[in-house]
Amino acid sequence: MSLKERILGIDLGTTYSAPAIIQDGVPTLVPVKGQHLLASVVGISPSGEVLVGAPARNQWVVAPERTIRSIKRQMGKGETVTMAGKTYTPQEISAFILKEIKEGVEAELGHPVRRAVITVPAYFNEVQRQATLEAGEIAGLAVERIINEPTASALAYGYGLKSNQDLRMLVYDLGGGTFDVSVIELSNGVVDVLATAGDNYLGGDDFDERLAEQVANDFVKEHDIDLRANHQAWARLLRAAEEAKIELSSAPYAMISLEYIAKDKKGRPLHIHREVARDEFVELIDDLLIRTITSVDKALADANLEPTNIDRVLLVGGSTRIPAVWDMVSTRMEQEPHIEIDPDAAVALGAAVQAGIIAGEQIDTILVDVTPLSLGIEVAHFGFTGRIQSDRFAPLIRRNTTIPVQKSHVFSTLYPGQEAIHIKVYQGESPIASQNILLGDFMVEDLKPNRPDGRSDVTVNFQLDVNAILDVAVTERKSGKRVSEQLKANRQRLSPDEIAQSQARLTAAYEGGGTADLEIMDPGVTALLDRAQMALDRPDLDGLLAAEIAGTIADIRRATAEEDYKQVEEHCDHLIDLLLEVEE
């Protein structure tokens, strides 16, 4: 099979994303502009240029109002974000990332890439999965399949196993913004997901914030200044906290050093030089780690298994490098986890395996996935007292049901002669319908009674496909009339016209570069800032050094706006020293 026929596997992560393909029979990461991991950060530079990856990540420290990070947590919410004064949907921001991946892979492979398999957290609901499909479409990709991240990891680990080898795996996937755990069985070339659990709002970003909050609180006590009130100062502190977290994965201590983080009441610069011990960091995040173990217990219970029934524990996601994670998981599971595959690469490699299967590669694996949350409708019924009890959730497809699946159930109208019903489709586990996630609603009208008591029966059919996208059909028993909707979640779902509009917005953003909105300043200072921006664009730039450069740029801009030229000169001298360090 030629490379041109192959399908791209993409791990669209909260903090980092990665593409992979099957090459010479082996799943392989494809670098994007020389980097195997692309920072999931998007920005617009002061000159109007679209930034994706390391340049955007570096800009976020100095210009958070021009930069968006962790957009994955906003997917499917129906909200917008503001970047450089313009509003974008989460799908559009994700599309910038996917477009960067698409173009980077095309440059690497030397031919167009049009098809992809994209991964999502196992606990993503239908609306979030649909938003991911839309992001791919906006980026110019035909998304062939959406698969769960832990399932992709199991595919990566299971690739190349003997067809008669049977294994039960627990995949513990702790990324930058989400956490998933799945119990998976590999048997005779079939990857069967037995149970899944997780938290879409738990990950490395939360660990960074806990540490940054602690440092900010200490700063308030010492200087009576809250760094959280200043976007740039807080962004710099979060970046430094992330760097410290990474360092603490391999060292017992880390230093947070931030020059010129604030000014006191007399205008004197204030700095942060604080050592963080690994034990202190673990204490700050201990309750979050315990929440992951609660999900592990839930997945095991749903699969009716004990830790001793698990043959292999897989750690996936960059946050699993934290030693406390290893200790907690190994203690609970009574065995040492496996990390033969880079935790940052496992999901993308597994997506490539699934992409290879779809493309017709010779891969003896069949994927059998499950739905993470129950799907059903809102119903009402008469209680023992004769009063109507409404807002009840009636599941048609139960949590951890193997997909694709189709389920039907007969429901009746409440009253004789009732001619219409309002179908509300929910996803979740609460017996109270409104406490679950509303996926969509629609009316079924002109009902004809088919029962002696004058009421009407309707058959509600749910069909969930391999991408966990739901089709709902309601059929009237009397006439056979059928009303079908693919969720009709119009608040979140984009029409073809809206997809086209978003594609046009992306194109306009890329064509909008060169419109400067920089402050008017000395040409020598402008040249220095251009030199600094080039340094920030370097993907190999040390994170702490990048943060200090970005902070100094911000100080120069602020001093220029305040016409404090003595401060401009001091900050420029400091920036020159930093750039000399970069260019050594």
Residue tagged active-site, from 126, 173, 243, 369: 173
Quote the pLDDT of residue 514.
Answer: 40
Residue tagged active-site, from 72, 99, 245, 424: 72
Work out how many domains the chain is built from and give that number. Answer: 3
Are 478 and 535 within one domain? no
| Annotated catalytic residue 149 | yes
Cα pseudo-dihedral 115, 39, 203, 552, rounded to 10: -160
Here the CATH number for the domain that contains residue 345 is 3.30.420.40
Are 162 and 178 within one domain? yes
Quote the pLDDT of residue 210.
Answer: 97
Are 465 and 448 within one domain? yes
273 located within any domain:
no
419 located within any domain:
yes
261 located within any domain:
no
- Based on the number of CB atoms within 10 Å of its own CB, is 508 exposed (0-12), middle (13-18) or buried (19 or more)? exposed
User: Taking the mean position of all CA atoms in its chain, how far away is CA 183?
Assistant: 21
Residue tagged active-site, from 11, 92, 378, 476: 11
- The 10s digit of each residue's pLDDT in 318-340 is 999 999 999 999 999 999 898 77
Strand order in the sheet with 41-44: 50-52, 41-44, 67-69
Are 454 and 327 within one domain? no
563 located within any domain:
yes
Are 461 and 315 within one domain? no
Q: Which of 346, 334, 341, 329 is nearest to 310 (CA)?
A: 334
Are 361 and 380 within one domain? no
- The 10s digit of each residue's pLDDT in 431-485 is 888 888 888 888 888 888 888 888 888 888 898 887 767 889 888 887 777 777 7
Task: Please tell me the distance from the alpha carbon of residue 169 to that of residue 279, in angstroms, as a whole number.
Answer: 30
Domain boundary among 329, 346, 370: 370
242 located within any domain:
no
Task: Please tell me the distance from the alpha carbon of residue 326 to that of residue 380, in angstroms, as a whole number.
Answer: 47
Residue tagged active-site, from 92, 149, 247, 378: 149
Question: Measured between alpha carbons, how far is residue 141 from residues 135, 255, 353, 383 in Å?
Answer: 9, 43, 18, 51
| Annotated catalytic residue 173 | yes
- Give average pLDDT by consecutive 10-residue segment, the chain, 584 residues: 74 95 87 91 89 89 88 90 91 96 93 94 87 94 92 80 75 91 84 87 94 96 94 90 92 90 88 93 96 95 95 92 93 89 90 89 64 87 75 86 82 87 88 86 85 86 81 84 61 68 79 47 73 77 76 78 77 84 75
| Annotated catalytic residue 11 | yes
Range of the domain at 437: 375-485
Here the CATH number for the domain that contains residue 399 is 2.60.34.10
Domain boundary among 337, 370, 403: 370
494 located within any domain:
no
514 located within any domain:
no
